[in-house]
Amino acid sequence: MKSRYIVHAVRIVFGLHFLLNGLNFFIHFFDVTPPHSPAALDLMRSLVQSGMFDIVKTVEVITGIAILANLYVPLALVVAFPVALGVAYVDVVLIGTWFGGWVLGLGTVGLNAALLLAYLPYYRPLFAARSAPGATPA
């Protein structure tokens, strides 16, 4: 019973993290310190100039809303995972500071992974060794 409340709390924290970081790109309601690493700056600049950052931040907003609203959470967690991995790579490898790198980077992946595990029963049919198109999973 208590684990259900823990999962809800983690879901809310993760959903807020994605929603607020995604919205901040479009609305700018809190300052984000630019990374000190030249590689991280180059990557961020390229992502923004190419328009890819718009896509990433839109995914963060949409998945954040879905996770907070408890709608399509298993799907939203799968869609969010590549973004979380990208965040972790930039934060840990390119930025590498204690809080901004390790805590936020690994924390993002950790929360996402913990929620994926909590929702594991929804993914079990995906791991069928043999399947047929149009068949209903057993």
* Structure confidence by residue, pLDDT tens digits, 4-40: 999 999 999 999 999 999 999 999 998 877 778 888 8
Number of structural domains the chain divides into: 1
Q: Determine the Cα–Cα distance for residues 130 and 30; give it in Å rounded to an integer.
A: 49
Q: Determine the Cα–Cα distance for residues 30 and 3; give it in Å rounded to an integer.
A: 33
pLDDT at 35: 79
Enter the pTM of the model. 0.89
The answer to the question of residue 55 being in a domain is yes
The answer to the question of residue 34 being in a domain is no
The answer to the question of residue 76 being in a domain is yes
Give me the mean pLDDT over the 54-63 stretch. Answer: 97
Structural domain that includes position 11? 2-27+50-120
Backbone dihedral region for residue 129 (phi beyond 0: left; psi -120 to 50: alpha; all else: beta): alpha
CA-based R_g, the chain, Å: 17
- Give the SS3 label for residue 125: helix
DSSP-derived secondary structure for 7-56: HHHHHHHHHHHHHHHHHHHHH--S--PPPS-HHHHHHHHHHHHHTHHHHH
